[in-house]
Amino acid sequence: MLVACHDCDLLHHLGVIAEGATARCRRCGGLLRRRRRNGIERTVALALAAAVLFAVANAFPFLSFDMKGQVTQTTLVTGVLDLWRQDMPEIAALVLATSVLAPLLQISLLLYVLLPVHAGRVPWQMARAFRLLRHVQPWSMMEVFLVGILVAVTKLAGMAEVVPGLSLWAFALLIVVLAGAMSSLDPQEVWERLGVRS
Amino acid sequence: MSGAPRTGRAASCWTCHDCRLLCRVPAGAAHAARCPRCGAPLHARKPGSLERTWALVIAAALCYLPANLLPIMTVTSLGKAQSDTIMSGVVYLLHHGMWPLALVVFVASIFVPILKLVILVFLLVSVRRRSRWRPAERTRLYRVTEAIGRWSMVDIFVVTILVALVRLGALATIEARSGAVFFGAVVVLTMIAAESFDPRLIWDGCEEAEA
Ligand SMILES: [Zn+2]
């Protein structure tokens, strides 16, 4: 099969790639294709786990803050609501998009496309959904948010007692599981199962 | 170079940007309609890549100064108000002996955005000059820029979490300030700028020089 490197346009004759193997461009080192063992099945399983963890992470407070007996708790969206109230709609929207909406969309699109593909069917508007997934991915920044939590907790440590909540662990696990889902996905395999239209 | 064409464009085969299918297009076509597999519009190169990337880089550079000079938050504790810029946040962490975190915030918030802007300007200029200098290294530089941009969001998230946790009325409040808006703009603009740059332009310059 003839393919062109996405980063430098060099043409390659790509033979059959073994499961688990990676093909790279011989000129610029760009990724041509990475085949995964049971890629679609593993991605579906991890995406389902991510959906459960996402629900837990958002349903419960992830930090409690105790200052002289006054306790505040925060969930992922409380900060967004407070920013909104403080007349910072742009930042509120950016934080909501990158820490809640993009991961939610990412998990939903993975399941929307891969569950039917796994069952041998082509979901409605599959190309559009799969394209959207690629565009959403860079905006899903949960791991960056986790580092933000770490910095914030350290800053507050002198002021009051900060107690991590259950959902913080779900959140950390979610990052690992979703990263695993994205890395076990071989987009070429999904497109090939879709086949050539028209 | 002679013999078989080495690149997709030279062979009149364009890679679909979305599903990566190599599609044959009529020779000399400016744009072919759509990818037969996924339906995305086909282009030999991202359209208007240089112009778009320049515009976004300039816009991000303009936001970079207010992002660093204006306060990103104000802490009011027992009647005393204190405003923090990104740099004063780093200094605060340093003074309290948390230098690993100070380093994280400094690298993510101050170093990464400026590094991204410098690399993108360097790539844009080198493509404009049809430079043949180390195309593989320049492509790698581009991949680095794409990968690190998201980490600049750390401080925006820190402000959000502080705002949500510290709202105890008379005791203490933390409010976000306009520096955070500019800072968010820098992150978003540099991310879109990296996405609109087409690394294949780096190699086009080398091929034209060879031909
Ligand atoms: Zn390449």
Here the tokens at position A63 are: 């930090």
- For A71, the enclosing helix (H) or strand (E) is strand A70-74
How high is the pLDDT of residue B1? Answer: 45
Span B97-132, pLDDT tens digits: 889 999 999 999 999 999 999 999 999 999 998 888
Interface of A with B in 138-167 (CB under 8 A): 138-139, 141, 144-145, 147-152, 154-156, 158-159, 162
**DSSP symbol at B110:** I
CA distance A166 to A63: 9
Distance from CA of A80 to the nearest CA of B (A): 7
Q: Which residue of B has its CA nearest to A72?
A: B165
The pLDDT tens digits for A114-171 are 999 888 888 888 888 999 999 999 999 999 999 999 999 888 887 788 888 889 999 9
CB contact under 8 Å between B13 and A2, yes or no, is: yes
At A196 the pLDDT is 46
Question: Which ranges in B70-177 belong to alpha helices (H)?
Answer: 86-95, 99-106, 112-128, 135-148, 154-165
pLDDT tens string A36-74: 888 889 999 999 999 999 999 999 888 888 877 788 888
Query: What does the pLDDT read at residue B211?
Result: 61
Instruction: Find the closest chain B residue to A68 by CA distance.
Output: B171
Handedness of CA A126, A129, A130, A131 (dihedral sign): positive
Instruction: Supply the pLDDT for residue B205.
Output: 82
Chain A residues 166-185 within an 8 A CB cutoff of chain B: none
Task: For residue B45, give how far its alpha carbon lies from the nearest alpha carbon of chain A (Å).
Answer: 10
How far apart (Å, rounded) are the C-alpha atoms in residues B154 and B160? 10
Give yes or no for A30 touching B (CB within 8 A).
yes
Query: Which tokens go with A127?
Result: 């190309």
Q: Note the pLDDT of residue A147.
A: 93
3 state SS of A84 = helix
Residue B135 forms contact with A (CB below 8 Å): yes
Report which of A32, A22, A30, A25 is spatially closest to residue B140, judged by C-alpha positions.
Answer: A30
Q: Considering CB atoms only, which of A11, A67, A80 is closest to B7?
A: A11
Per-residue pLDDT band for B32 (boundaries 50, 70, 90) equals low
Provide the whole-model pTM: 0.91
